[in-house]
Amino acid sequence: MRTEICEKLGIEFPIFAFTHCRDVVAAVSNAGGLGVLGAVGFSAEQLEIELDWIDQHVGDKPYGVDIVIPGKYEGKGETDVAKLEKQLRDMVPEEHRAFAKKLLADHGVPELPEGEEARQLLGWTAATAGPLVENTLKHPKVKLVANALGTPPADVVAEIQATGRLVGALCGSVKHAIAHKEAGLDFVIAQGYEGGGHTGEIGSIVLWPQVIDAVAPLPVLAAGGIGNGRQMAAAMAMGAAGVWTGSLWLAVEEAESPPAQKQSYFDATSADTVRSRSWTGKPCRMLRNDWTQAWESEGNPTPLGMPLQYMVTADAVARSHRYADKAQKVAFNPVGQIVGVMNEQRSTREVIQDLVEGYLDATERLNKLNENV
Ligand SMILES: Cc1cc2nc3c(=O)[nH]c(=O)nc-3n(C[C@H](O)[C@H](O)[C@H](O)COP(=O)(O)O)c2cc1C
């Protein structure tokens, strides 16, 4: 199953794992895949701490970093972070803040301790992502950088490629995939509708082969709904250079998700997710709960765009993380439809082994069918 991108990166299996948790990044890379740290929620200083930690825990294995520079967002063009934040804060209607506060209060979720305030502007603007990229490039074991929600700006692409690293981006449509190719990216991640986090409207089995054909010979990593080796084999059979997974890692032993949140994932079926703009302002797949329903109900405020909506919801994200056991009905639980088979806690190594063995079983099954022809 070693594809060309595995050779370039020096990994054993074409299994890419997106996660916000450094322990999972290290565990995946140590198990032969490529752990990719989602950087959007970290300040540049915190990211530096996380990357130092990973460097110390992956031996000589490579890993990746994921950034978020959207193609479209409120305040695009402003490069001064302080000015941008002020401009954005002024744009948030008080009605939205009051509505979010009331939802949490009605569900009995405690306030953050006195003096603590959640960060409202994350790394999802060009201005706030720049320092994350700079810190990333100081770490030689980072061999790949991926961008979500758009084609990264040309200067960022050039900066990363000048260091010899691979740069790619996620897409949910052929149009976006072609834009990535035209910008000179080294690979594309095609994420289908069923995937966790920000996601488009086309299902994986339809999207993957279209993107693979549209950008050939650029390598395409298949994302969205992959939870076992059979699905991995299907993606590889269509011509994917590897699989890019996210949801699977939310509930592994090494993941720092609060136990109550892991339990919500274990309890959910594949029918329990929804694509909602209610946390980040862009369509994102998550568990349906009182929060997502409330923001969709008529008469209530409509979610703002990115990054304004998160300026409203940052406090709720922090509170529902800290008081997870009290907050599940109004918590942000991003995950894909594959949640329906995430029913128990496993170690990262077990999940990787399961993917590899399932892939081998599936290919053997096909080989046997072919023998009978
Ligand atoms: C909790 C969560 C957060 C995510 N955040 C990001 C992100 O910040 N950047 C990104 O490129 N992709 C993000 N994604 C998408 C993943 O990179 C990946 O494409 C997706 O999870 C694949 O579909 P799956 O969840 O069915 O495996 C996120 C996914 C999840 C589940």
Question: pLDDT of the chain along its 373 residues, tens only?
Answer: 999 999 999 999 999 999 999 999 999 999 999 999 999 999 999 999 999 999 999 999 999 999 999 989 999 989 999 999 999 999 999 999 999 999 999 999 999 999 999 999 999 999 999 999 999 999 999 999 999 999 999 999 999 999 999 999 999 999 999 999 999 999 999 999 999 999 999 999 999 999 999 999 999 999 999 999 999 999 999 999 999 999 999 999 999 999 999 999 999 999 999 999 999 999 999 999 999 999 999 999 999 999 999 999 999 999 999 999 999 999 999 999 999 999 999 999 999 999 999 999 999 999 999 997 6
Classify strands 284-287 and 273-276 as parallel, antiparallel or unpaired.
antiparallel
End-to-end alpha-carbon separation of the chain, Å? 24
Atom nearest to 41 CA in ligand 1: 8
Instruction: Report the alpha-carbon distance of residue 350 to residue 8 in Å, rounded.
Output: 25
Chain mean pLDDT for the chain:
97
Two structure tokens written together for 203: 């299902």
Instruction: Report the alpha-carbon distance of residue 236 to residue 171 in Å, rounded.
Output: 18
Quick one: pLDDT at residue 183?
Answer: 98
Atom nearest to 248 CA in ligand 1: 27
CA 349 to chain centre: 20
Two structure tokens written together for 62: 């490579």
Instruction: Report the alpha-carbon distance of residue 118 to residue 318 in Å, rounded.
Output: 6
Quick one: pLDDT at residue 138?
Answer: 97
pTM: 0.97
Q: Is the backbone of residue 277 left (phi > 0), alpha (psi -120 to 50) or beta?
A: alpha
Question: pLDDT per residue over 286-308, tens digit each?
Answer: 999 999 999 999 999 999 999 99
For the Cβ of 191 lying below 6 angstroms from any atom of ligand 1, the answer is: yes
Two structure tokens written together for 159: 């900066």
Quick one: pLDDT at residue 372?
Answer: 72
For the Cβ of 223 lying below 6 angstroms from any atom of ligand 1, the answer is: yes
Rounded distance from Cα 285 to ligand 1 centre (Å): 9
Do 285 and 277 touch, CB atoms closer than 8 A? no
Question: pLDDT per residue over 226-252, tens digit each?
Answer: 999 999 999 999 999 999 999 999 999
Do 78 and 127 touch, CB atoms closer than 8 A? yes
Measured CA distances, 354 to 211, 274, 309, 361 (Å): 27, 27, 38, 10
- Is residue 176 within a helix (H) or strand (E), and if so which, with residue range? helix 174-182
DSSP 22-46: HHHHHHHHHTTSEEEEE-TTS-HHH
For the Cβ of 66 lying below 6 angstroms from any atom of ligand 1, the answer is: yes
DSSP state of 334: B
Rounded distance from Cα 365 to ligand 1 centre (Å): 30
Do 242 and 221 touch, CB atoms closer than 8 A? yes
| SS3 state of residue 221 | strand
